Amino acid sequence: MSEAFLKRAVKKHFKALGYTVRMRRIRLGNAEIDGEALGVKGERIAIEVKTPNDDVVRGVGQIAEASAFGYNQVVLVTTLRNAKKINGVVFHYYGWALLGVDAKGELHEILSTKPDKLISEMTNRSWREIKDRED
């Protein structure tokens, strides 16, 4: 999936939730993020998009920088396939979200800041990893 496809999907998703979305590079100290979503109550969400060919670890650094610059929430967006492979420990620890985009352009919350969803996702992920190892 191309970066443009992922960005269009992210913009569509956050607009549907009532956010104003700006998908343009935003410089934050030593890093840049790909965009931001602004809520009517003043909430700010930093958005970093990574294609399958991009360095996801670098993306984690970019969202860490965004957290330090006062964003209420940060999300890392990649393909659904890649998102399912990412270990969620760091995302859970810092309260970051991980979103995956499927081939239809729909976003799926892989790791959320909602505690009940996060715990169920982590449990399901662990179960899938154990099952995959057994096969």
Domains and CATH numbers, the chain: 3-134 (3.40.1350.10)
Residue 124 has pLDDT above 90, yes or no: no
As a whole-number percent, the residues of the chain with pLDDT over 70 amount to 83
For residue 68, count other CB atoms closer than 10 A to its CB. 12
Asked if residue 23 has pLDDT above 50, the reply is: yes
Which contiguous run of DSSP H or E holds residue 77? strand 73-79
Residues near 132 by beta carbon (within 8 Å), at least 6 away in sequence: none
Calculate what percentage of the chain has a pLDDT beyond 90.
Answer: 64
Closest alpha carbon to 83 in 50, 123, 36: 50
pLDDT in tens, 66-104: 999 989 899 999 999 999 999 888 888 888 999 999 999
In the numeric block, which tokens belong to residue 112? 């959320």
Helix (H, G, I), strand (E, B) or coil at 78: strand
- 57 versus 123: the higher-pLDDT residue is 57
**pTM for this model (two decimals):** 0.80
